[in-house]
Structure 1
Amino acid sequence: MPSPAVDDYLKTIYHHTEWQDERITPSQLAAVLGLAPSSVTEMVQKLAAQGLVTHRPYGPIALSPEGEQRAAAIVRRHRLVETWLVREFDYTWDEVHDEAEVLEHVLSDRLLERIDERLGHPRFDPHGDAIPDAAGHVHREPFVLLADAGVGHEGRVLRVSDRDAELLRELDRLGLTVGRTVRVDGDGMLLDGVEVVLPTGAADAVWLTA
């Protein structure tokens, strides 16, 4: 049966390996969700019993095929809602996450598909995260985290993490948004040939084309 708590766990596990390969550990999952490790351990055991995740004690957690499909479905809901709010209601990219957290659990499948149709079946949300299609499939270009990009690397901004709303506002003021082409230049970057000093945390929150 649908459960917002289960969906939030699956979504968090799904997010963790979208932009890097290391599987999430129970302690990392507890930190992201803001829950006690004992509570997370209990829920992970329940998810494993339901066939939604695979997990050994003290080891990392992975989604099963069924869990992956369910996680992709809730991620699709969240990201379509974010895109809808930005395009249709003039929300900014730092305002949509909390709204989508609520709406993703209450929209009917019919309304969600109407939203998808109205938006022209977008492939990416306002932060550059891929929107899974109805079958759960996604397409991503080869990418590199800004912190790992060497001096002189030139690429297009593929994705900006939505975890820090203030950082999103600062990057927006700088014009460092999804789709912009930049060149890494020491501790900063060149944006349209102009040197830009990056705010704290940006190097670990921005992904470029590889």
Structure 2
Amino acid sequence: MRISDPARRTQPNADSAAEDYLKTIYHHTEWQSNPVTPSVLAATIGVAPSSVTEMAKKLAVLGLVNYEPYKPLTLTDEGVRRARGVIRRHRLIETWLVSEMGYDWHEVHDEAEVLEHSISERLLDAIDARLGFPTEDPHGDPIPSADGTVRDYSAHLLSAAVAGSSYIVVRISDRDPALLEMLAAAGIRPGTEVRLSAPDAAGAALRMVAARKGGSAVDVSDSSASSIWVSTLA
């Protein structure tokens, strides 16, 4: 198996599955430092553990993944470069769909999953320029530049935040459309200042309120609190 360079690929091909593996391994450590295990990778992608082992061995032969049996998987430098290329496509497409095509932020993930494997680099660069070279997508995830540079962010999970304090929302995972809809209805998106308090609802972890006048309150579950990243106010 050979993975073609994203810059030369213009249509879906057999590389798509391999790219999904690279993207998922990269994404797992993007906001935390623990490398992904084969079992977690299998559950995330939705395949059998044996399929992960087979693909990891192939990617290791290609110099894209560091693989040892029963050990977590990590990307080589070239693997990181290839993964960032896929992520750049995905996040620019999400941003384009929201900015230009009338999609809401909870509707774009699945569309981008398909388009990221077919869009040409020429069209992607045109979209990037059209959007003014954005550095983050609608969910707060950094968009790698054309040369692979990624902006650094300082943030931690909402689940580690303290009730009674105020924070800036930095990033919200795009994997849960219901959570995105709920937060949008409360006026909470990346860049929103929020105040935290003890929740009213049973089973909730925290209550978030957008700090602007008239901001709505929303109770956040433990699982949702693990999908939201915040930073402390300066």
TM-score per shorter chain, which class? over 0.9
Q: Number of aligned residue pairs: give it.
A: 210
Structure 2 unaligned regions, length at least 5: 5-14, 199-205
TM-score (norm 2): 0.86
Q: Given residue 160 of structure 1, which amino acid in structure 2 is its aligned partner?
A: I
Query: Which deviations, in whole Å up to 9, do the C-alpha atoms of 1:109-167 show, x marking residues without a partner?
Result: 11110000000000000100000011111113210100001223322111000111111
Partner of residue 130, structure 2? 118
The question of 1:81 aligning with 2:102 is answered no
Query: What is residue 168 of structure 2 aligned with on the other side?
Result: 156
Q: CA deviation at 1:195?
A: 6.8
Q: 1:196 aligns with which of 217, 222, 229?
A: 217
SS at match of 1:155: strand
Corresponding position of 2:145: 133
- RMSD, aligned α-carbons: 1.3
Structure 2 counterpart of 1:100 = 112
- 1:172 Cα deviation after fit: 1.1
Question: 1:189 offset after TM fit, Å?
Answer: 2.5
Structure 1 residues 66-75 or 155-164, which shifts more? 155-164
Does 187-196 or 11-20 show the bigger shift? 187-196
Q: What is the DSSP-based 3-state SS (H/G/I as helix, E as strand, rest coil) of the residue aligned with 1:197?
A: strand
Q: How does 1:1-210 map to 2 (within 5 A)?
A: 1-2=3-4, 3-186=15-198, 187-192=206-211, 196-200=217-221, 201-210=223-232
Secondary structure of 1:68's counterpart equals: helix
Runs of 4+ deviating beyond 6 Å? none
**In structure 1, how many angstroms separate the alpha carbons of the residues matched to 2:118 and 2:209?**
43
**SS of corresponding position for 1:183:** strand
The Cα offsets for residues 160-203 of structure 1, whole Å up to 9 and x where unpaired, read as 00111111111111112111001222221232275723243321
Identity across the alignment (%): 51
More displaced, 68-77 or 159-168?
Answer: 159-168
